[in-house]
Amino acid sequence: MRIARSNLHKFYDGRFTEMALQIAVPFSFKSKSDERTHRIRASADIAASCMSSSIQSARLTVVPGSSAFGNAGLTAVAAPLPVRGHYGMAGESAAMERLYTQIERIGPHFRTALVLGETGTGKEMVARALHGLSPAASGPFVVCNASAIVETLFESEVFGHVKGAFTGAMTDRTGLFESAHQGTLFLDEIGEMPMSTQAKLLRTLQSHEIQRVGSSALRKVEVRIIAATNRDLRALAASGQFRQDLYYRIAMVEILLPPLRQRMGDLPLLTEYLLQKLAAQYGKQMPTLHPEAMRILEQHGWPGNVRELENVLGTAMLQSQSSVIVAEDLPNLKKPMPMNTVARANQEFQRLDEIIEQHVLKVLEQCTGNKLRAADMLGISRSTLYRMLDTYISKSKSSR
């Protein structure tokens, strides 16, 4: 397979010093008339932008001697690998084929999209595929994990702020929307977004303008939005926990990812792909799976989906002392107890003062120990915060 001159910079622009490059080109094609040629080319483009995510399904070796790249004199030789799929995702089941088709139909045209799926199903990979197929593919792909941002700092992170907007705002800050200008903003776990920020997000989607915290100036942004969640966003909107108008705005197109348990026919492909990826990461020879070990994997329910499978295989690979992963190398795959069962078994609940203590300490950590800023975020006076911290310290000493 040869790479067009126009795409050379994606593979050989000085950023990569190794002669062997890993990219997600899981198929080879026979002719330009092949019905899947556009998938192959799209996979190559997406893979080039996702190198840091270790999306690896084929090996390109750059060797001298070809006139295909003009004066560069380079040839890209593809060695086929056993993994089959598209856009860095391994799988050839009917469910995955439907997913690939939906991505291809939506990618070139979407303005907003909602990706739904359980934890570990690959929502960000789908988002990257949509971005790679869109007219904004050459622009930035910016990720915002809503569940990892403290509520009081949410607007500042997403929309930016100006110097002096609040205590601790020492300089102007560009928000994620501005960073994603002429590209795509991926809002992961959007169900965790505070209601106040949801209102501002809706205005931005309608007007294509953002307003930094502490500023009255409006700034134009051109951004495609892909939201993702593992929660039932429609139910949250119906119960008032998520803005209905925002839900209908972002859910113009919905993509539902199948959990691993519903595509177990892909398990051998996924296992082979992940073992190859992990072997490259750990600097080990790619192992094989003993039939008994594979049988255990096939019988597991995989509540954590592909992410859990990768974790299990990574642990097994590190523990294995041979080129074959046996059943004893696998971690214990126990099905998690339902939360109500755990509660009944323990017959205990967390005290309110313990919850408050954990929250206060978390905010203080977020403020890197700045007590004045932490008190401001908590909505209490600094003297109140000092008294609470003294109490926590005394309790810690007495429990030793």
Are 70 and 22 found together in one domain? Answer: yes
| End-of-domain residue from the set 36, 54, 89 | 89
Domain count, the chain: 4
- Residue 95 class from Cβ within 10 Å (0-12 exposed, 13-18 middle, 19+ buried)? middle
- Note whether 230 and 118 are within 8 A (CB): yes
What are 343-356's pLDDT values in tens digits? 444 445 667 777 88
Which pLDDT value is given to residue 167?
84
Residues 235, 223 share a domain:
yes
Helices 352-366, 371-378: crossing angle, 10 deg rounding = 130
Asked if 108 and 211 sit in the same domain, the reply is yes
**pLDDT in 10s for each residue of the chain, 400 residues:** 333 323 333 332 333 333 333 333 333 333 334 445 555 555 555 544 444 333 333 322 233 333 333 333 333 333 334 455 688 899 999 999 999 999 999 999 999 999 999 999 999 999 999 999 999 999 999 999 988 888 788 889 999 999 988 888 889 999 999 999 999 999 999 999 988 889 999 999 999 999 999 999 999 999 999 999 999 999 999 999 999 999 999 999 999 999 999 999 999 999 999 999 999 999 999 999 999 999 999 999 999 999 999 999 999 999 998 999 999 999 987 544 444 444 444 445 667 777 888 888 887 877 777 788 777 778 788 778 888 887 877 776 665 5
Name residue, tokens 């003062």: 353
Q: Is 269 helix (H, G, I), strand (E, B) or coil?
A: helix
Measured CA to CA, the distance from residue 250 to residue 114 in angstroms comes to 6
- Output the pLDDT for position 18: 33
The answer to whether residues 165 and 77 belong to one domain is no
Residue 39 to residue 342: CA distance in whole angstroms: 46
Same domain, residue pair 72 and 101: no
Could you give the C-alpha distances from 366 to 150, 226, 342, 377, in angstroms and in order?
A: 8, 27, 30, 10
Domain contains 347? no
- pLDDT given for residue 337 in this prediction: 42
Final residue in a domain of this structure, among 47, 63, 89? 89
Q: What's the pLDDT score for residue 294?
A: 95
- Give residue 382's domain range: 352-398
Q: Are residues 304 and 264 in the same domain?
A: yes
Residue-level pLDDT at 96: 94
Give the 3-state secondary structure of 214-260.
CCCCCEECCEEEEEEECCCHHHHHHCCCCCHHHHHHHCCCEEECCCH
At residue 38, the pLDDT reads 53
Among 126, 121, 87, which residue's Cα sits nearest to residue 226? 126
Residues 6+ apart with CB under 8 A from 369: none
Report yes or no on 167 lying in a domain.
yes
